[in-house]
């Protein structure tokens, strides 16, 4: 075997060419990681929104909370169901919710308007949704025109500070608290009391009912019981599955784009790598001849040049990871077209993604190096030495 030091030294010998190729591969890897981190972050925000222990009930056929509508009778039927868990005060853990979208001007550019979710909740919601925590201030008091604002909205929209007043639905609402929800889509919402929102928005109708399951394993039973109940026409979804499904459309678009764009890029980069290696080998033909005269077998030469190509690509991969790392945590926002609401989420660069990026780089290197390495291995010693 030709010692790997040989390849490392020859890589260092041609710093400009190595750097350019590695940089090219690095950019491809960075885009690959960046785009998947975007899709990842979006999915994660919505996947974390729901809990396995909760059930969302919507009107039958409604594919989002926006298109659903449930009367008070339905809420009392659900609250009385034996599948609903009860809290410490013996009341059922149910949150009948009003869900509307309101246009809200953004801080940095007030001509840009985003559709923000306003959710009217019951006082039980803080127990039903265990991942929601008030980070600052006091929960809205019942019967008052007060709201709690999700932490992701605070930076991006004006008048969301505690004690400030938001105007929507033809009324003024005092912001009394901020809440976080473990990075989920709830953090892009404004919460207030459902009974306060009902008369202002859509009248005597709720959009969804969320409740905590008494026995998390008994979801199927609960679903069957609710959907078969003749007194109402509803669909029951596991909350986690419901929000994951809301992320499907845009999540798939983002992943699809990531794969197509980086796929085309990768082909271009591999072509470039092939060319670089061919040129490298052509200029080093005498060297290869010497190696062979010394008794190294063609297979060793092949492996050696493959390794060299892989080394260059791996350097590129590491560069790519370094380029992509600062993206982690950057907050961006877009409209989730499944629910038509704006949602803020952060890029999520996970260790798995970084490893995938490195593997991707090495694969590009090996693919790009194979044919040139084969040519190197097949060189005739006499010809090469000239």
Partner 1 sequence: MKYLRLVVANLGRHKLRTILTILSVALALFLFASLRSVTTTLAATAQFGGARRLVTLNATGLVFPLPLAYGNRIKAMPHVTGLSWANWFGGKYGDGKRFFANFAVDAESYLAIYPEIVMPEDQKQAFLKDRTGAIIGRRLLTQFGWKLGQNVTLQGTIFPGDWTFTIDGVYTPTDPAIGDDVLIFHHDYFDERIGRAGIAGWYIAEIDDPSRAPAIAKSIDDMFRNSSSPTKTGTEREFQASFATMWGNVSFLMSTIGLAVVFAILLVTANAMMMSARERTGEIAVLKTVGFSDRLLFALVMVEAGALALTGAVLGLGGAKLLYPAINFNGAGFLPGFTVTTSTVILGVLVAVGLMLASGLVPALRAARLPVVQALRHVE
When asked if residue 62 is in the footprint of partner 1 (CB under 8 A), the reply is yes
Question: Coil, strand or helix: which one is 177?
Answer: strand
When asked if residue 66 is in the footprint of partner 1 (CB under 8 A), the reply is yes
The CA distance from 292 to 176, in Å, is 79
When asked if residue 75 is in the footprint of partner 1 (CB under 8 A), the reply is no
Name residues contacting partner 1, limited to 137-196 (CB under 8 A).
168-170
The CA distance from 249 to 352, in Å, is 23
When asked if residue 278 is in the footprint of partner 1 (CB under 8 A), the reply is yes
Total number of residues that touch partner 1 (CB under 8 A): 64
Given 2, 6, 10, 27, the residue binding partner 1 (CB under 8 A): 27
Question: Coil, strand or helix: which one is 344?
Answer: strand
CB of 241 to partner 1, least distance (A): 16
The string of DSSP codes covering 224-293 is HHHHH-TT--EEEEEHHHHHHHHTHHHHHHHHHHHHHHHHHHHHHHHHHHHHHHHHHHHHTHHHHHHHHH
Nearest to 307 by CA among 5, 1, 7: 7
CB of 259 to partner 1, least distance (A): 13
When asked if residue 382 is in the footprint of partner 1 (CB under 8 A), the reply is no
> How many helices and strands in the chain, by DSSP H and E?
13, 12
CA 191 to chain centre: 23
Give phi and psi for 80, each to the nearest 5: -85, -5
When asked if residue 28 is in the footprint of partner 1 (CB under 8 A), the reply is yes
Given 30, 77, 125, 302, the residue binding partner 1 (CB under 8 A): 30
Site string for partner 1, 321-350 (x = CB under 8 A): -----------xxxx-x--x-x--------
When asked if residue 60 is in the footprint of partner 1 (CB under 8 A), the reply is yes
Q: Which stretch binds partner 1 (CB under 8 A): 2-10, 183-191, 259-267, 350-358?
A: 259-267
When asked if residue 310 is in the footprint of partner 1 (CB under 8 A), the reply is no
Q: Which stretch binds partner 1 (CB under 8 A): 44-52, 80-88, 257-265, 297-305?
A: 257-265
105-112 long-range contacts (CB < 8 A, ≥24 apart) are: 105/157, 105/158, 106/156, 106/157, 107/155, 107/156, 107/157, 107/158, 108/156, 110/158
When asked if residue 34 is in the footprint of partner 1 (CB under 8 A), the reply is yes
The CA distance from 184 to 164, in Å, is 24
Question: Coil, strand or helix: which one is 149?
Answer: strand
> Which residues are 121's β-sheet partners?
193
Do 26 and 320 form a contact (C-beta atoms < 8 A)? yes
CB of 209 to partner 1, least distance (A): 17
- Report the half-sphere exposure of 252 (CA within 13 A, side-chain side): 7
CB of 26 to partner 1, least distance (A): 8
Given 1, 8, 20, 86, the residue binding partner 1 (CB under 8 A): 20
Question: Coil, strand or helix: which one is 316?
Answer: helix
In the bound state with partner 1, the residue whose beta carbon lies nearer, of 34 and 183, is 34
When asked if residue 61 is in the footprint of partner 1 (CB under 8 A), the reply is yes
Give phi and psi for 261, each to the nearest 5: -65, -50
In the bound state with partner 1, the residue whose beta carbon lies nearer, of 57 and 93, is 57
Nearest to 280 by CA among 289, 288, 268: 288
Given 269, 310, 315, 373, the residue binding partner 1 (CB under 8 A): 269
When asked if residue 202 is in the footprint of partner 1 (CB under 8 A), the reply is yes
When asked if residue 64 is in the footprint of partner 1 (CB under 8 A), the reply is yes
When asked if residue 205 is in the footprint of partner 1 (CB under 8 A), the reply is no
The CA distance from 215 to 223, in Å, is 12
CB of 136 to partner 1, least distance (A): 26
Name residues contacting partner 1, limited to 90-109 (CB under 8 A).
100-103
Query: Which residues make up the interface to partner 1 (CB under 8 A)?
Result: 17, 20-21, 23-28, 30-31, 34-35, 38, 59-64, 66-67, 100-103, 112-115, 168-170, 201-202, 233, 249, 253, 257, 261, 264-265, 267-269, 271-276, 278-280, 282-283, 332-335, 337, 340, 342, 386
């Amino acid at each position: 075997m030709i010692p790997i030091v040989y390849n490392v030294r020859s890589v260092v010998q041609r710093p400009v060419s190595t750097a350019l190729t590695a940089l090219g591969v690095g950019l491809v890897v960075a885009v690959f990681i960046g785009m998947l981190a975007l899709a990842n972050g979006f999915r994660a925000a919505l996947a974390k929104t729901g809990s396995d222990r909760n059930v969302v009930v919507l009107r039958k056929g409604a594919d989002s909370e926006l298109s659903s509508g449930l009367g008070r009778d339905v809420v009392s039927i659900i609250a009385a169901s034996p599948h609903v868990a009860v809290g410490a005060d013996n009341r059922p853990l149910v949150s009948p919710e009003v869900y509307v979208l309101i246009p809200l001007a953004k801080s940095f550019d007030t001509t840009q308007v985003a559709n923000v979710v306003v959710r009217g909740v019951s006082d039980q919601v803080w127990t039903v949704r265990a991942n929601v925590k008030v980070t600052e201030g006091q929960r809205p008091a019942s019967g008052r025109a007060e709201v709690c604002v999700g932490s992701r909205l605070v930076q991006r929209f004006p008048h969301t500070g505690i004690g400030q007043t938001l105007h929507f639905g033809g009324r003024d609402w005092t912001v009394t608290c901020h809440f976080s929800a473990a990075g989920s889509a709830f953090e892009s919402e404004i919460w207030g009391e459902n009974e306060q929102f009902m008369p202002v928005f859509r009248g005597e109708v709720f959009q969804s009912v969320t409740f905590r399951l008494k026995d998390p394993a008994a979801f199927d039973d609960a679903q069957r019981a609710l959907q078969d109940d003749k007194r109402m026409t509803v669909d029951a979804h596991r909350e986690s599955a419901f929000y994951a499904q809301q992320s499907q459309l845009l999540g798939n678009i983002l992943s699809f784009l990531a794969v197509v764009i980086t796929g085309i890029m990768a082909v271009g980069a591999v072509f470039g790598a092939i060319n670089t290696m061919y040129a490298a080998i052509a200029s080093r033909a005498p060297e290869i001849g010497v190696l062979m005269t010394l008794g190294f077998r063609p297979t060793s030469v092949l492996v050696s040049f493959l390794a060299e190509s892989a080394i260059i690509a791996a350097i590129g991969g590491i560069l790519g990871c370094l380029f992509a790392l600062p993206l982690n945590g950057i907050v961006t926002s877009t409209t989730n077209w499944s629910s038509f609401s704006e949602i803020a989420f952060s890029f999520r660069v996970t260790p798995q993604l970084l490893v995938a990026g490195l593997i991707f780089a090495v694969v590009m290197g090996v693919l790009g190096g194979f044919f040139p390495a084969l040519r190197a291995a097949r060189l005739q010693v006499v010809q090469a030495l000239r």
